[in-house]
Amino acid sequence: MKVLLVNPPHSFSPENPLARAGLCLPPLGLLSIAAYLRREIPGTTIKVIDWPGAKMTSENFAREVSAFAPDAAGISVYTGTFTASVSAAAAIKKICPGCFVAAGGHHATARPGQCLEKGFDAVVLGEGEKTFCELVKRLAGGAPLQGLPGLMLEPGGPATRPEPLDMDLLPFPARDLLDLSVYRPALFGYRRLPVTSMVTSRGCPFSCGFCSKSVFGSVYRAQSPARVMAEIKELVENHGVKELSFQDDTFTADRERIMKLSALIKESGLDLTWSCMTRVDLADPELLAVMRGAGCFSIAFGIDGSSDGACGLMLKGFELARAKDAVAYARAAGIETRGYYIFGYPGETLPSMEASLARILEINTDHVFFAFAHPFFDTELYKEAKEKGLLEVTDEELLDSHDNSEPLIKVPGASREELVKFYKRAYLKYYLRPAPLLRRLVSPRGLADSFKALLYFVRWY
């Protein structure tokens, strides 16, 4: 069998400050499926096409597909890339009529019937490794596909999600199938090259109203410190990696795991720096100090709501005081901080958002990323916005509304233009304060990088 895995094209809107910031991360989900296929079905020929990483055109894609001539294909489908994913599937079918094309990913799991109605042969629900591998086995052997856990074959048809996978039993992602040198976090989101990303856990036990958990669910599972360390060594030894961006949703969800992992990294003597993301109520002075000693230089906090009221609307489960404490703890440990915030949540107004910005300035992370509330289909946010008639776009338009820098939910008394102006003004007000400017000028990155950041920001603004 020849198997093709495709990450569809997607881009940022001009309003997004990341539009020209160089953000491009390898599709680790597809690379994990590729590695699983290699291990379970030796001899399978696998090709991964990462449209964004390769900066591919439709013509190049058609040539690649024609030359490879796949027997089976899996395409990631996200809310925001739906039309692009459907077009990729249609192109494959046109070039290779006998190819079996399956959809997977967040949107495919949330709205499987929609994918099947648009020409996909099947939808892989939830985690893709085991189900997609079994699908390929059955296709190769001519076995019936009905009854395969995690596979849906017709709209409204029977389908059961597979059992959550043991993270320690997964092979390392097949990063050799792509050119890692083209990938990196956004500008100023890393310090050294080569840099790459890792994911060491799946599932989240928290219940934030805006979060889509269609693929990995609510059961938190993590690789053991030893398993993580083995992958880190492989990246350093085989790919020359000097820095890691951990993309776990909540990296410190298991405190003792990170304490042990930090100890292993430090004991290894590897020349390694790294960054991660977590919640403010899962960070304490001792943990952060240990992480810093192991090479952690930056931590992103999903604060999201900048007031106790907003945190309550979003079902965050913590009070704003915890955010201030966590940022202070990280700064004391010598770790750079990033704050992620959401504006325009149901229940907010433009005056309340202005007040929120004042509190964001008080929290005072080194960097911020602002986003408008994005109503993914399988979230409480979508349900609430739909019920209250607050959606700015139809469900059909939402399929390709891929960017969280665009207001998709109505804010009473504020036009879309006013919201976009507030969004840009918020960045301007945050970054042009004297104290943060001085802190960046004397940072380890120095004057040259700060000047580069200023030029980038002015171009975007």
Lowest average pLDDT, out of 145-149, 168-172, 174-178, 212-216, goes to: 212-216
Lowest average pLDDT, out of 168-182, 299-313, 403-417, goes to: 299-313
- Crossing angle (nearest 10°) for helices 434-441 and 416-431: 60
Structure tokens at 251: 């990296």
Indicate the pTM of the whole model. 0.93
Report the alpha-carbon distance of residue 327 to residue 4 in Å, rounded. 44
Residues linked to residue 337 through DSSP beta bridges, in sequence order: 299
Structure tokens at 314: 């979003």
- What's residue 458's pLDDT? 76
Residue with the larger pLDDT of the pair 295 and 437: 295
Residues of the chain with CATH 3.40.50.280: 2-152
State the chain's mean pLDDT as an integer.
91
- What's residue 444's pLDDT? 57
Mean pLDDT to the nearest integer, 43-58: 95
Interval 375-386: pLDDT, tens: 998 889 999 999
Mean pLDDT to the nearest integer, 343-347: 90
Contact between residue 85 and residue 75 where contact means Cβ atoms under 8 Å apart: yes
Mean pLDDT to the nearest integer, 186-206: 91
Going by DSSP bridges, is the β-strand pair 243-246/195-198 parallel, antiparallel, or unpaired? parallel
Interval 295-334: pLDDT, tens: 999 999 998 776 666 656 676 666 778 889 999 999 999 9
Mean pLDDT to the nearest integer, 333-350: 92
Percent of the chain with pLDDT over 70: 94
Residues of the chain with CATH 3.80.30.20: 184-460
The dihedral over CA atoms of 413, 417, 423, 429, expressed in degrees to the nearest 10, equals -90
Does residue 188 sit in helix, strand or coil? coil
Report the alpha-carbon angle 255-257-263, nearest 5: 105
Report the alpha-carbon distance of residue 433 to residue 162 in Å, rounded. 51
- What's residue 122's pLDDT? 97
- What's residue 29's pLDDT? 96
Report the alpha-carbon distance of residue 33 to residue 28 in Å, rounded. 9
Residue with the larger pLDDT of the pair 47 and 441: 47
Report the alpha-carbon distance of residue 69 to residue 78 in Å, rounded. 25
77-86, 134-143, 395-404: which is most confident: 134-143
Percent of the chain with pLDDT over 90: 70
Residue with the larger pLDDT of the pair 213 and 36: 36
Reported as a pLDDT band with limits 50, 70 and 90, residue 218 is confident
Asked if the model's pLDDT at residue 7 lies above 80, the reply is yes
Reported as a pLDDT band with limits 50, 70 and 90, residue 421 is very high
Contact between residue 200 and residue 257 where contact means Cβ atoms under 8 Å apart: no
Lowest average pLDDT, out of 97-101, 156-160, 262-266, 446-450, goes to: 446-450
Interval 253-295: pLDDT, tens: 999 999 999 999 999 999 999 999 999 999 999 999 999 999 9
Which CATH superfamily groups domain 2-152?
Cobalamin-binding domain (3.40.50.280)
Mean pLDDT to the nearest integer, 155-169: 86
With CA atoms as reference, report the closest residue to 4 among 55, 67, 53, 59: 67
Residue with the larger pLDDT of the pair 161 and 122: 122
- What's residue 23's pLDDT? 84
CATH architecture under which domain 184-460 falls: Alpha-Beta Horseshoe (3.80)
Length of the chain as a residue count: 461
Reported as a pLDDT band with limits 50, 70 and 90, residue 442 is low
- What's residue 109's pLDDT? 93
Mean pLDDT to the nearest integer, 8-33: 86
Q: What is the DSSP string of 21-83?
A: TT-B---HHHHHHHHHHHHHSTT-EEEEEEHHHHT--HHHHHHHHHHH--SEEEEE--TT-HH
| Residue that the structure tokens 């020409």 belong to | 119
Contact between residue 254 and residue 227 where contact means Cβ atoms under 8 Å apart: no
